[in-house]
Structure 1
Amino acid sequence: MRASGLLAVGSDTVMGTAERRRAPGADEARVTPQRFAEASDRDIPAGEAGSYRPLWVEEPARRRRLPDPVRTAAVRAVLLIALTLLQAMVAFLCTMAGSWLAFPMVISSVVSTIAATWGALDVWVTRQVWSQRHGVVSMPSSTARALRRERRRSRRQARAAERAQERIRRRGGAGQLSHP
């Protein structure tokens, strides 16, 4: 029985973990944590101590983790932006209250805004630099690949023709049907 986010197991009502759900048409790899009642130790009474029930089931990450330098820059940027928003709010409240602190807070908010913008740009630049240094997989378009293939083919044919002419010249013209 299920009522308002709680699972009823026997006579005890306990908080349940997320149920296993599949969207229609979803692939079988996406699985959320198991229902509490499906645990392998469900035959153990709720009052018994020492029973192990996993709180969640690990799922593979959908995206790769950010590289360390990029993550560091992102954390720095988030902290700077949070500080800027806090300063802007204090400056606004001081202005509304008519406090002497309003002017210094507005000035510090402007400086902090510049620092936060720098922090956001730093994340972008760090990500670009990391990608260049650590080899992003380059996948050229099929058109570019076909053009390169065609150029290589024509160079090979030109080299083969040149080698054939060189062979004919070394033989002293033997093998030619007519002399020029």
Structure 2
Amino acid sequence: MYDKPRLPDPVRGAAVRAVIVSALVLVLVLIAVLCSIAGVWLAFPAVLSAVAGTVVATWTVLDVWVTRQVWIQRHGVRSEPSSVARERVLRRHRQED
């Protein structure tokens, strides 16, 4: 298995909310399309709900991005030097001695 670092808790929470809201919006859109095709009275409210849901889903996806950026600003990013950089640092230390 690959060693990908886990998302920070606030970012993960925002991502879970975004996935749940997006899934609900997809269901709303499907209901709106099917009601429109069938010509049912529920088509108009379903379309309005789907449009409102799309706005909310966009907001939640933006929330994930903003939460991630804020977390990075507050906590920084753990970075490790690459093997090339590590070799250069070791070489520099040997030359100083």
Letter of the aligned partner of 2:76 in structure 1? G
Tell me by how many angstroms 1:76 deviates: 0.3
Q: Deviations over 1:129-171 (max 9, x none)?
A: 00000122579xxxxxxxxxxxxxxxxxxxxxxxxxxxxxxxx
Match of 2:76 in 1: 135
Q: Unaligned stretches of 5+ in structure 1?
A: 1-58, 140-180
Deviation at 1:81, TM superposition (A): 0.5
Code of the aligned partner of 1:76? R
Asked if 1:113 is matched to 2:54, the reply is yes
Amino acid in structure 1 at the alignment position of 2:57: A
- Aligned-pair Cα RMSD in Å: 1.6
**1-side partners of 2:77 and 2:7: how far apart?**
13
Larger radius of gyration: 1
- TM-score (normalised: structure 2): 0.77
User: Partner amino acid for 2:3?
Assistant: R
- Output the amino acid matched with 1:117: T
Give the deviation of 1:92 after TM superposition.
0.3
Question: Paired residue for 1:96?
Answer: 37
Give the percent of matched residue pairs that are identical in Structure 1 and Structure 2.
Answer: 61
C-alpha distance in 1 between matches for 2:7 and 2:29: 30
Q: 1:71 is matched by which residue type in structure 2?
A: R
How far does the alpha carbon of each residue in 1:54-78 deviate from its partner, in whole angstroms, 9 at most, with x for none? xxxxx5x510100000000000000
**Among candidates 52, 59, 81, match of residue 22 of structure 2:** 81
Q: Higher strand proportion, which one?
A: 1
Distance 1:98 1:106 in 2: 12
State how 1:44-59 maps to structure 2 within 5 Å: none
Residue-by-residue CA offset, 1:11-49 (whole Å, 9 max, x unaligned): xxxxxxxxxxxxxxxxxxxxxxxxxxxxxxxxxxxxxxx
Higher RCO (C-alpha under 8 Å, 6+ residues apart): 2
**Runs of 4+ with >3 A deviation:** none
CA–CA separation in structure 1 for the residues paired with 2:73 and 2:32: 41
Structure 2 counterpart of 1:100, one-letter code: W
1:121 maps to amino acid = L
Residues of 1 paired with 2:36 and 2:78: CA distance? 52
